[in-house]
Amino acid sequence: MELTIRKGTAADTEQFLALLDTVRENMEHKEWFYLDPHDFVREKMKNGKMELWVAMDGHRMAAAFDILRPGLENYNYGYDLDFTQEQLLQVINMDSAAVLPEYRGLGLQRKLVAMAEEQLHREGAYILLCTVHPDNRFSLNNVLKQGYQIQKKLEKYGSVRYLLRKDLK
Q: What is the DSSP letter of 42?
A: H
Q: How confident is the model at residue 41 (pLDDT cuts 50, 70, 90)?
A: very high
Asked whether the whole model's pTM tops 0.85, one would answer yes
Quote the strand ranges of 8-141, DSSP E: 50-57, 60-68, 91-99, 126-132
Q: What is the pLDDT of residues 89-128, one digit of tens each?
A: 999 999 999 999 999 999 999 999 999 999 999 998 899 9
User: What integer is the mean pLDDT of 26-45?
Assistant: 85
Higher pLDDT, 35 or 118: 118
Question: Percentage of residues in the chain with pLDDT exceeding 70?
Answer: 99
CB-count exposure of residue 104 (10 Å: 0-12, 13-18, 19+): middle
Domain total for the chain? 1
Q: For residues 38-65, give the mean pLDDT.
A: 95
CA distance 43 to 47: 6
Whole domain around residue 98: which residue ranges? 3-168
Specify the DSSP element, H or E, that contains 151.
Answer: strand 149-156
Mean pLDDT of 20-44: 86
CATH number of the domain to which 34 belongs: 3.40.630.30
Residues belonging to the chain: 169
Measured CA to CA in angstroms, residue 68 lies from 43, 48, 104 at distances of 12, 9, 24
pLDDT beyond 90 at 167: yes
Rounded Cα–Cα distance for residues 164 and 78 (Å): 11
